[in-house]
Homo-oligomer: A and B are copies of this chain.
Amino acid sequence: MDILKTAELIEKGDLRHSARVMRSLDDGDPEALEVLKVLYPNTGRAWVLGITGSPGVGKSTLTDVLVTRFREQGKTVGVVAVDPTSPFTGGAILGDRIRMQRHATDDGVFIRSLATRGHFGGLTASTRGVVTVMDAMGKDVILVETVGVGQDEVDVAKMADTTLIVTVPGMGDDIQAIKAGILEVGDIFVVNKMDRPGGEATLSQLENMLMMEREGTRCPGWNPPVVPVSAANNQGLDDLLEAIKGHYDLLHENKAQLMNQRRRERAKMELMDLIQTRAKQVILKRLEAGHRLEDLALSIAKGEKDPYSVCQEVIEAAFSD
């Protein structure tokens, strides 16, 4: 791979080379990482919109409708669908791609389903890599769709400029999970499928919760709104787009403070994630030499050694200097 040439082609929006680098990242190809290094300084222009929520809340339908709306506004769009993919088979959910098919022939839309745990690192590292490539391609808006509630998902949500938390009427436990898990990372709350019974109750439940927790929100000067929509029926989308624009405007008006603060926090998190993954890889490689890892695992499984002492020995040996 010609690294500079590939980076140049990506920055011209070349689909084939962009897709190839994304694939190579997941395969752990070091050359792909070199391409990212070249691309990185010219990124940060795209608006990253996180869409997160439990399975069944209609995230994909909402993403689909938002893509259409952004395209109508003349914006180019990237979509990263982060699937809770099998750690064993690496298989991906077909559904999202199928539902997105109507954008498949639109050159202004680039869609990528992401396997959860590639060789690049964790879910977050992979997602960041793909977002960086799409950003470099010149996409105006990048939608990152994730299945909510897990810790990884919270990290992905923290990566976005604007995070939408999606729920539906009548999911009492879901609201509870939102409250505990990702209330603070939500910039806009969406109650989808408002045509279902119980919509109003869910709306006020969420609004009350947000009222009480207002102190905890991550964006000073922004009161996260709760927006009722029915994505499948194309209802409430104008309000949602207005809310998204409102948050975008706020962050851009206060760019010096808010954006930079947010992006510095994000850079710190990104760096430490990369370091953690890489450190593990380095140590793992050393341990795998001479079947040492297998032997240690066997001793632990037999109860001869405990994992905490073994970890301590390994760490002390690794950082002996």
Contact = CB atoms under 8 A, between A and B. Distances in A.
A232 interface: no
A6 to B, nearest CB: 15
A257 interface: no
Given A171-B56, A272-B284, A298-B264, A307 B84 contact: no
Contacts of A150: 84, 147, 149-153
A267 B297 contact: yes
Contact of A56 (B54, B92, B318, B321): B54
A105 interface: no
Interface in A269-318: 270-272, 274-280, 282-284, 293-294, 296-298, 300-301, 303-304, 306-312, 314-315, 318
B315 A275 contact: yes
A307 B147 contact: no
A183 to B, nearest CB: 7
Interface string A85-126: 111110111010000000000000000000011000011000
A307 B176 contact: no
10 contacts: A84-B180, A86-B184, A88-B216, A147-B150, A260-B301, A263-B301, A264-B297, A271-B307, A272-B280, A274-B311
A196 interface: no
Interface stretch (A32-40, A197-205, A219-227, A242-250): A32-40
B301 A172 contact: no
Interface of A: 33, 36-37, 40-44, 54-56, 83-89, 91-93, 95, 116-117, 122-123, 147, 149-154, 158, 171-174, 176-177, 179-184, 216, 218, 260, 263-268, 270-272, 274-280, 282-284, 293-294, 296-298, 300-301, 303-304, 306-312, 314-315, 318-321
Contacts of A301: 260, 263-264, 266-267
A84 B320 contact: no
A307 B177 contact: no
Contact of A271 (B151, B300, B318): B300
A184 B90 CA distance: 11
